[in-house]
Amino acid sequence: MANKPQWQQYKGQLALWGVILLALWWWPDESTSKFTESEPYLELSSSDVVTVKTARLAHDVSVTGSIMPVRQTILNARVAGEIKQINVREGQSVNAGQVLVLQDDRDLVARVQQADAALLTAKAELALAQQNLDRIKPLQQQNYVSANDIATAERQLDIRQAQAKSAQVSFVQAKQQLADMAVRAPFSGVVSERLVNVGQSVAPNSPLLTLVDLSQVELVAQVAATDVSVIHVGQIVYFNADGFDDQTFAGRITRINPVAKAGSRRVDVYAIVNNQKGLLRGGLFAKGYVRDDNAQQGVAVPFSSLQEKQGKHQVHVVRDNRLVAQAVSVGRRDENTSMVLVTGLKEGERVLLLPPLPNTEGRVVRMKEVR
């Protein structure tokens, strides 16, 4: 048999050295590795940690209430009569001065004509009485008329003046009553309720229509008595209303009830809301908040992540794949969001939501994939 080439004689040794070199190349160097497979580790999921972010914290006060018209009136009949015509329907917008209801005015038209004729007669008789007095006064100096004649003429003039004045008052009243047969809108608004029908007879002061002005509405809101200290006139209320869950409205506080309700220990707060588009209607339920003027901004963490140790606060941070304690200083708290401002952390760091179990500080952290 022929001799094998020299390299084939050493083939087994070469393979052995190759395996040794490969093992040495893959073997972890303790000087560069952060942890070994045998080192205890802490397994966390994304729900166990929160990423630190900058936040604006304020003591925003929750409010609930209802929308009410700022201006609302019931239009009443001023005179007795039958309803002749109703020019509007419920929900219809009207302008100031617009005729809304007409009463049967036939009797009043005749009364105005009679009063006008009586006034003309009274004025004519007054003019004659004045002419008569003016005519006989110069004759007294010539002794053609007596002083008694003058006195009689003056009394007659006084009577005619009183009659003319009374006729003038009657005429004005009759004209006003005729004008009152047409019920007009005192302001621009929306008819919210119709209280009479055509052909119905009404007495003076009988309610006919309800008119509301929706260009401005009032939010009548209730807040907890414990929150009143941070609310003042001029603050803005942000709220949503029934049917407008995706739209935020704003109003300015104009007054605050000084007395809390005995049962609920809540205080009424009133805010004016511009409603030029007429979206908000009286009676809608509203829910919102009053934003605190003294808001602060900074790095915030949940209340639950804080841990007090020897009178100082700390949180646990996942840093370089290890769980480490980080001392923090606590600032403003927001009870509504359960967040607190802290110093000692950087935005983007991962903080444990709850204090860790004993003897886990310093351990390697492995993040578990959430499927």
CATH number for the domain including 251?
2.40.30.170
Q: Does pTM surpass 0.75?
A: no
Are 279 and 325 contained in the same domain?
no
Q: How confident is the model at residue 179 (pLDDT cuts 50, 70, 90)?
A: confident
> Mean per-residue pLDDT for 286-307?
87
Average pLDDT, the chain: 85
Q: Which residue has the higher pLDDT, 275 or 11?
A: 275
- The range of the structural domain enclosing residue 257 comes to 62-70+214-290
Are 221 and 286 contained in the same domain?
yes
**Confidence at residue 27, expressed as pLDDT on a 0 to 100 scale:** 45
241, 243, 245, 250: CA torsion to nearest 10: -30
Q: Is 125 helix (H, G, I), strand (E, B) or coil?
A: helix
Tell me the CB-side half-sphere exposure of residue 222, using CA atoms within 13 A. Answer: 13
User: What is d(CA 118, CA 122) in angstroms, rounded to the nearest whole number?
Assistant: 6
Q: How confident is the model at residue 24 (pLDDT cuts 50, 70, 90)?
A: very low
Q: Which residues contact 202 (CB under 8 A, 6 or more apart)?
A: 77, 80, 81, 82, 83, 103, 196, 208
Burial of 105 (0-12, 13-18, 19+ CB in 10 A): buried
Burial of 263 (0-12, 13-18, 19+ CB in 10 A): exposed
> Mean per-residue pLDDT for 229-254?
92
**Confidence at residue 329, expressed as pLDDT on a 0 to 100 scale:** 92
Are 48 and 66 contained in the same domain?
no
User: What is d(CA 109, CA 34) in angstroms, rounded to the nearest whole number?
Assistant: 105
Q: Is the pLDDT of residue 289 over 60?
A: yes
Residue 47 lies in a domain: yes
Residue 13 lies in a domain: no
Q: Six-digit token pair at 163?
A: 């009659």
Is the distance from CB of 126 to CB of 236 less than 8 angstroms?
A: no
In the chain, % of residues over pLDDT 90:
47
The predicted-structure confidence for 130-156, as pLDDT tens digits, reads as follows 998 888 888 877 778 788 888 888 899
User: End of a domain among 259, 290, 321?
Assistant: 290
The predicted-structure confidence for 46-72, as pLDDT tens digits, reads as follows 888 999 988 887 777 889 999 999 999
Residue 92 lies in a domain: no
CATH number at residue 313: 2.40.420.20
> Mean per-residue pLDDT for 175-198?
90
Task: Count the domains in the chain.
Answer: 3
Residue 1 lies in a domain: no
Residue 88 lies in a domain: no
Residue 348 lies in a domain: yes
> Mean per-residue pLDDT for 189-205?
93
Are 137 and 155 contained in the same domain?
yes
Q: How confident is the model at residue 28 (pLDDT cuts 50, 70, 90)?
A: very low
Is the distance from CB of 115 to CB of 174 less than 8 angstroms?
A: yes
Residue 22 lies in a domain: no
Residue 223 lies in a domain: yes
Are 66 and 53 contained in the same domain?
no
